[in-house]
A and B are shown apart, each in its own frame.
Chain A
Amino acid sequence: MKAAAFAYARATSVVNALELLAVHGDKAKVLSGGQSLMPAMNLRLLSPEILVDIGGLAELRGIAMRGDVLVVGALTRHVDLLRSPEIALHAPLLRHAVSHVAHPAIRNRGTIGGSLAHADPASELPACVVALDATIVARGPTGERRIAATELFKGIYETALARDELLVAVEVPVPGQGSTFFFQEYARRHGDYAIVGLAARAVVADGKFTDLRLGFFAVGDRPLLAAAAGKLIDVSVTPALLAEVTTALTRELDPQEDQQASPTMRRHLAAILLRRCVAALLARPELETGATA
């Protein structure tokens, strides 16, 4: 199908974009790469009265180190994340995750800011920013504010961003020594939306986790930072402990039923990803099967 009629405004600056959003409020949608918005409009799931196109705003592009924080501009495209040496060095989780996002032609247009603001619970990047303990920078009529990634997502396609605010950047803290990452997802085919996925960041010292952040996606109405991970910190992980944590995790999840999977199947797959993740990060393959060593 074709999108319903709408008006179009090409923002000339962030300030201009904010003015347009202030004037049009609920009737406007921000157009970034358009790789989620355009399908939704073509399918007539969304019919905004006006699109505010921020695609030309060079000030929202680019990846830069600021102290020990990696600042990723909202218009940074998936392909830019894949190619960036800074991302490869300081946030390899993002690079890994993006290789699972759709296909090359989509990754050439889709942006990190667009993906986060769209807040699809089955998307990879929202779970990554939660796992990475990133901060989302939003600009509004009264200035800039910072939102913890864990506070950004409020439901399916819902965020803490106000109608007159624009997501301008993502700040990713650069992890210290001993940091490792894990990313895996189940999808029908590579590039499809995940049935269940896990993006994780950990710090491992002497065979134990000193930090573990597990960002699950497609298991509820928003990315979930699993509280169960806390039980694995500063302890020697045994198969019995991991089994207990797995049970705790499946209780935490509130998966949706859809044509891809039932809630039971999603809980089952999330449990497998948890075991794989712990086994991989601790380099203890025996933990994956749950067998006693």
Chain B
Amino acid sequence: MSAPVSVSLLVNGEPIDAFVLPRLNLADFLRENLKLTGTHVGCEHGVCGACTVRIDGEIVRSCLMLAVQAQGASVETIEGVSDSGEIADLQAAFRERNALQCGYCTPGMLMTAQDLLKHTPEPDRQAIREHLSGNYCRCTGYQAIVDAVEATAKTRAERRA
């Protein structure tokens, strides 16, 4: 009954064809099948945000999506947005401000923060906190993360001006 199903998708711009079991979630597909281990698996029920990826430009929880549901979709992971340089400034700001310690939440934080900055180029701290509210960090107390996102927003605004 639960035979493998074919799925074709783009991952970081690369076409992928695979046969996967229906129960395989997208996070595990990325990590185990494609060895893209930047996407982290924390709670596996959509609460912690460590597995956040972009599907067709919008952030989603890859633990709450089956790999087979990504049929025809364009998936972008932390590896993709990191290698392209899209979030280089955000990553630098995280480093400068110690906005990470163990780093487990960081890929999800970066994906979510970049999503906010795309939709709301100059968010205030409240908006930053609200957008990141679905991403847990157990190390930093969030202050430094909010600082880093705010600083990146300001630098980008200055660059645009």
- Please tell me if B123 contacts chain A, counting CB pairs below 8 Å: no
Residue of B nearest to A108 (CB): B58
Task: Please tell me which stretch of B45-53, B82-90, B96-104, B145-153 contacts chain A, meaning at least 4 of its Cβ atoms lie within 8 angstroms of it.
Answer: B45-53
Contact yes or no, B1 A2, CB < 8 A: no
CB neighbours of B28 from chain A (8 A)? 2
Query: Cα distance A36–B116 when bound, in Å?
Result: 24
A-B contact count (CB 8 A): 98
CB neighbours of A6 from chain B (8 A)? 1-2, 22-23
A205 to B: closest C-beta gap in Å: 36
CB neighbours of A102 from chain B (8 A)? 46, 134
Residue of B nearest to A34 (CB): B64
**Looking at chain A's contact residues, is the secondary structure mostly helix, strand, loop, or mixed?**
loop
- Please tell me if A109 contacts chain B, counting CB pairs below 8 Å: yes
How many residues of B sit at the interface, in one of the four size bands?
20 to 34
**Looking at chain B's contact residues, is the secondary structure mostly helix, strand, loop, or mixed?**
mixed
Query: Cα distance A105–B23 when bound, in Å?
Result: 21
Residue of A nearest to B49 (CB): A105
- Please tell me if A55 contacts chain B, counting CB pairs below 8 Å: yes
Query: Cα distance A150–B65 when bound, in Å?
Result: 31
| Residue count of chain A within 8 Å CB distance of chain B | 33
Interface residues of B, Cβ cutoff 8 Å to A: 1-3, 5, 21-23, 25, 28, 44-46, 49, 52, 55, 58-61, 63-66, 68-69, 71, 112, 115-116, 130-131, 133-135
Interface residues of A, Cβ cutoff 8 Å to B: 1-8, 10, 31, 34-35, 38-39, 42-43, 49-51, 53, 55-56, 79, 102-106, 108-109, 189-191
